[in-house]
Amino acid sequence: MLGQEKTAILLMQNEDFRQRITAQRQGKRSSYFLTVPNIPKREEKFKMQEKIGEDKTISSAVIRRLPRYHRFLGELEMQGVEKVSSRELSERMGSTASQIRQDFNCFGGFGQQGYGYTVSELHEKIGGILGVNSENRTVVIGAGNLGKAIAAHVDFSKKGCKLVGIFDVSPELVNMKIEDINGRKFEILSDEKLNSFCKKEKPGVAVLCIPQSEAKDVVKRLIGLGIKAFWNFSHYDVKHDYPDVIVENVHLGDSLMTLAYGLNHINSINN
C-alpha cells in the first residue's frame, strides 16, 4: 500500500511539471512561476530567531557564562574596542569560539558571519538578557562584617537590583550607618521592623549574611513576606526546603579550597 501511495505522488508531481512546461511553451506563465517565496526580511528573521531562542530551555551552564561575557564586553567597550570576533573573545575568556557561538545561538544568535560582533550592541543585549537594568528591590539580612562589606562595596544598581534595606538582630549594630558604593546612606534596621518594612517596600530579593543555624527560620519568614530570590551566603540549603524559589549560593570557602587544590597539584609535580 505504501508503494502505491508513493507512485501516485510521483505521478501527480510529474503531471504538474508537464503542465508548467506546456504553459511555458505556449507563452503562458503558470501560477507556480508567479509565486514568490515568503522570505522574511533580515530584521524579521532576527526577531524570529530571538523568539525561538526565548522558547528554548537554556542550560544553567550557559546562563552562568553570560555574566562573564557581559563583564569582558564591558571592559572591551571601556577600552574603545568596537568590533570583536568569537575567536578574539574566546582568547580573552579562555574558552573556544565554537562554545561562544553556541551560547549566543541559544538566544537567537548575534552578529554576522565573517563580520564579528559590535561590542556595545552585544554588551547591551546580554545585559538585557541578564536583566541588569532591572531594579529588583533587595534587602541585606545580617549586618556583620560580611553583610556590611556587601552593602558597602557591591554595586547592586549595575547587577539588576536596588538595595532598599539592611537588617540585623544585634542591638550594637542597629542604627549604625552604612554608605554604599554610590554614596547612598543606609541605617541598619532592627529585625523587629522587617515585617512592616517588607509590607511597605515589597522587596523581592534577600541577601543572606547570617549563620546557617539561624537561616532556616529567617528564610521561612522572608518567603512569607514575599521574597522570591536569595543570594545565599549562609550555607543553609534553601532550595531543598523551597524548590520553587530562586537561589544563588555563594560558598567562599569552596573557592579557597579549589585554589588550595591547584597549589597542591603544582607542588606535587614539582616535588
In this predicted model, what pLDDT tens digit does every residue of 163-188 receive, in sequence order?
999 999 999 999 999 999 999 999 99
Which pLDDT score is estimated for 109?
Answer: 75
The three-state secondary structure class of 164 is strand
Q: Which amino acid is at 22?
A: T
Contact 239, 261 (CB under 8 A): no
Helices 60-78 and 119-130, axial angle in degrees (round to 10):
140
Which residues are CB-contacts of 248 (< 8 A; sequence separation ≥ 6)? 229, 230, 231, 232
Exposure letters 143-178 (e unless 16+ CB within 10 A, then b)? beebbbebbeebebbebbbebbbbbbbeeebbeeeb
* C-alpha–C-alpha distance, residues 241 and 175, integer Å: 33
Report the pLDDT value the prediction gives residue 2, as an integer from 0 to 100. 45
Distances (CA, A) of 266 to 152, 256, 262, 270: 36, 16, 6, 6
- Which domains does the chain possess? 42-129 (1.10.10.10), 136-255 (3.40.50.720)
Residue with grid cell 560580611, as numbered in its chain: 146
At residue 29, the pLDDT reads: 43
At 32 the pLDDT is: 35
Low-confidence ranges of the chain (pLDDT < 70): 1-56, 112-113
pLDDT the model gives residue 56: 57
The confidence score (pLDDT) of residue 40 equals: 40
Residues 6+ apart with CB under 8 A from 72: 89, 92, 93
Q: Summarize pLDDT for 206-256 with one digit per residue, the tens.
A: 999 999 999 999 999 999 999 999 999 999 999 999 999 999 999 999 999
Beta bridge partners of 249: 232
Q: What sign has the CA pseudo-torsion 58, 64, 65, 67? A: positive
Listed in sequence order, the residues at least 6 apart from 84 whose beta carbon sits closer than 8 Å to its beta carbon are: 73, 76, 116, 117, 119, 122
Q: What is the pLDDT, as a whole number, of residue 113?
A: 67
Q: CB 207: neighbour CB atoms within 10 A? A: 27
**Rounded CA separation 79/20 (Å):** 61
Q: How many CB atoms lie within 10 A of CB 63?
A: 13
Rg (CA), the chain: 29
pLDDT at site 92:
87
